[in-house]
Structure 1
Amino acid sequence: MRVAVIGAGLTGVMTAYELARDGHEVIVYERRGSIAAEGSFAPASVLAPGLALAHAAVGGWGGLERLPAKPTAWPWLWRRWRAARQPAQAARLTCLRDLAQLSLERVQSIAAAHQLEYDHHSGVMALMRTPRDASRAQALLVTHAASSLPVRWLSADDARATEPGINPTLPLHGALYWRAGETANGRQFAHALRVEALRLGARFQFQQEVTGLATGSGARQQVELQTERCRDIAESALSVGSTGAATVVDEGPQTFDAVVLCSAEAASRLLPGAARPRVAWGHVHSVTAPRHVAADAGETFGPSGAVLDPAVGITISRMGDRLRVAGVASIGALPSRPASAVLARLYATLEATFPGATRTARAQPWVGRQDHLADGMPAVGRASANGLWLNIGHGANAWAQAAACGRLLADQMAGRAAPFDCSTLDPARLR
């Protein structure tokens, strides 16, 4: 089939690769001048099957702030709170676990097959800072023991031995630990994977925004393209990071057998009214800084993998010779620049957890937009109209879900059965 993929974030690149791997003719349309230029630019990229247990142990909402500054977000947060208490929540958590496991397998398989070079490190730890949180985490492990999750409980002493850079004065009552979990530079991976997608025949058209979807004859969809220069590709290192303008190619209206929307913004704008998903827009901050290298080989600065503090929704992760502290995800409009108060919280958490771990004078702050659906699940599958497909709603979990969702969507389009129950991902639930 001839397939258009709209959006070249991490999810879009993964989807394009999997479709091209299956032999489809794939063209990716991206309004920015580079891939992974918006929400995939510098978030935390942590992959650990069953990570939702850590947030459940502290009563968290997957890293989202419960009380954002603007009351306009409260109705949506109420829907998220209510969804977490529905009978279907157990099936959702199981699906999230299976998505992360499949993503881990796909990432490792793809990286090995193509010998991709990108920063990644093993080991994911979620700190339990109070006796209550530690007790709840241990109880959840017992409850989910039959699921064979690759996670184990560490005492406070064992946690400090596993991550010796943790501040010895930090209150700590144990930790959940995923030895096989990974943290990675998702943007590096996306750039490396794009090269492989190109080798498979995929094409990427940058600085082109799809402004309309019109149904052609039969089940074929006509994608009407309007080529326009982005508002300012080079101006915003906050969310773009592109150093030059891409070549603009105006091909006029194009016809495809299928269109996959990997951009929630595009889905909200282009799909027919009844099929448009109700998306809540949020944003997340991060700071990436050079890691302090100790003169004494016996002294450790920063984590060896990723360390989460789910109580405050902040993740500190290793990125090669750098560290990234990310979190404080909020529902609301994307600010024009990183908020100083939020950055102060990130710096304070980093210093409290790993004192002196980075050279903050050379830190790179970032804020990026994220899309969230009320039940906390992505939407992967056929939209209401023939030939239209969705792969959106990954929020802060793109790295943990993109590889799996790209593969699942390619399998759906080919009529192949999923390896596990994916009913909670069906976009029909959004209508």
Structure 2
Amino acid sequence: MRIAIIGAGIAGVTTAYECAADGHQVTVFERRGSVAAEGSFANAGLTAPGLSLAWGRTSLADLARVGNLAWGWRRWRAGRSKELAERHERLLHLSLYSHARLQELQRKLQMDYERAEGVLVLLRGEREQQAVLASLALLEHAGVSAQALSAEQCLSVEPGLNQATRLHGGVYLSQGEAGNCRQFSHLIRLAAQRLGVQFRFHTTVRKLKPGTPATLIHEYTPPDSLAEPSRLSEAGDSADGGDTKPAALGRMEDSFDAVVICAGAGAASLLRALKLKAALTTVHGYSITAPLRQLEAFPDLGPKAGLLDLREQVSISRIGQRIRLAGGIQPGQADERFDDARLAQMHRTLDDWFPGAMLSTQVQRWQGSQALAADGLPLLGASGREGVWLNLAQGSPSLLGWPLACGAAKVLVEQISGRKASSETPDTVGLDISRFS
């Protein structure tokens, strides 16, 4: 089959790889000059089965009040759905499947990127601990490894934690990791290219016509300067575009047996043109990245792997020799302005747990946008329009995207190919767009 992928973030490149590994001819269309140039550029980099479901979406409830009222109403209704609990369980199985696929790709492709194993959820008070403990049975039933820890046990996992900050306890997700999502995306892209995947960078999809075949109208749209600006405050994205297929000027038309929309926040216009009501909104989050301070007298100054402060909804990740803070989810597209109050909150959270660990003179700040469905679940599967498939809304830009990417891509290629799902493939019924019809 000839398959087109729209979007080259973490969802797009993993889908491209899986389609090519399945023997299909794949072309990826990306409006930026490289893979992982938008929502996957500097996200938290946390992947852990269960984190997305049980605690990672806590702050999203506030979006129903401060975001678009119509979407807030849909979110309220989605929360009352009788099928929501069943869909949450399916999401858990998908996240476990995705974790297993990520590990398989690491071994098979001998992937070397910045990563550290384990994610620790920090609980500041009794109320948070009770809420988390109530969900541990669900995680255990799904096969997710989640160990409740005392404050003392948390220190054994992360010995650099500031003991002056009150800590009621924690939950350790041993299957998780903190890693460099952008590095991973580039490695998957190289693996996809070796399988014949063609990338069309600086290319905007103007129109999508469903059918057999489906038709794409696209146009080469290079920026005014090849030094395309990113959302980092101090430096641009210096990664080469590596366009593997020369682009002609003017609008072009190509036909494909299947088109997969993986464009994240950029998918809204395509869905509207297809008259698809997906109950999506756009949210953005922030990250702060800076070198880890190295002091011989304090070898445990910073984090060993990944942490999530549940109350503050701020993650702290070890990315090689750097620290990354992520959080501050807000409705709407990212822009050139940064919310100083949100950034200050993230700095305070780091100072609570790892005071003095970051070299604040070399800070890079970033914003990234993501599509978010009203029920907080991904949009995965057939779109209801012939030849068009969806791999969208894998969660908030601060926590999700990567945890589901490898598994969602593998599931989707089986659906596109029309094969019967294997016994290992998770059931994703209820995670497609039909739940909003």
TM-score (normalizing by structure 2): 0.91
Alignment of 1:6-405 (within 5 A): 6-52=6-52, 54-55=54-55, 61-64=57-60, 66=62, 71-142=66-137, 144-215=139-210, 219-230=212-223, 234-238=227-231, 241-242=237-238, 249-250=247-248, 252-271=252-271, 272-296=273-297, 299-396=299-396, 397-405=400-408
Does the residue aligned with 1:275 lie in a helix, a strand or coil? coil
Measure the CA separation in 2 of the matches of 1:65 and 1:334.
20
SS in 1 for 2:275: helix
Q: For 1:253 and 1:402, how far apart are their aligned partners in 2? A: 29
CA–CA distance in structure 2, aligned partners of residues 64 and 302 of structure 1: 28
More divergent stretch after superposition (285-294 vs 331-340): 331-340
Contact map agreement 1:34 1:242 (CA 8 A) in 2? no
Would the aligned equivalents of 2:54 and 2:135 in 1 still touch at CA under 8 Å? no
- 1:291–1:323: 8 Å Cα contact kept in structure 2? yes
**Residue 423 of structure 1 corresponds to which residue in structure 2?**
429
Please state how far the C-alpha of 1:135 moved relative to its aligned partner. 2.4
Contact 1:11 1:406 in 2 (8 A): yes
Gaps of 5+ in 1: none
Shift of 1:404: 0.8
Q: CA deviation at 1:276?
A: 4.5
Q: CA deviation at 1:140?
A: 2.5
CA distance in 2, matches of 1:28, 1:333: 23
Change (3 A) 1:75 1:352: farther
How many residue pairs match? The answer is 423
Q: CA deviation at 1:64?
A: 2.8
Map Cα deviations across residues 4-27 of structure 1 (whole Å, 9 max, x no partner). 101001100000000000010000
* Bigger mean CA deviation after superposition, 16-25 or 131-140: 131-140
SS of the counterpart of 2:430? helix
Distance 1:194 1:34 in 2: 10
Partners of 1:287 and 1:249 lie apart in 2 by: 35
Matched residue SS, 1:100 = helix
Residues 294 and 364 of structure 1, relative CA distance in 2, 3 Å threshold: same
Contact 2:99 2:403 in 1 (8 A): yes
The residue type equivalent to 2:247 in the other structure is V
Does the 8 Å CA contact 1:54/1:176 hold for their aligned counterparts? no
Query: Matches of 1:343 and 1:264 in 2, distance apart?
Result: 24
Identity of aligned residues (%): 37
CA RMSD of aligned residues (A): 2.2
Q: For 1:421 and 1:342, locate their aligned partners in 2 and report how far apart those are by CA, in whole Å.
A: 38
Whether the aligned pair in 2 keeps the contact of 1:54 and 1:310 (CA below 8 Å) is no
In structure 2, the CA distance between the partners of 1:265 and 1:245, relative to structure 1 (3 Å rule), is same
CA contact (8 A) 2:49 2:175 kept: no
Contact persistence 2:29–2:204 (CA under 8 A): yes
**Aligned partner of 1:103: which letter?**
S
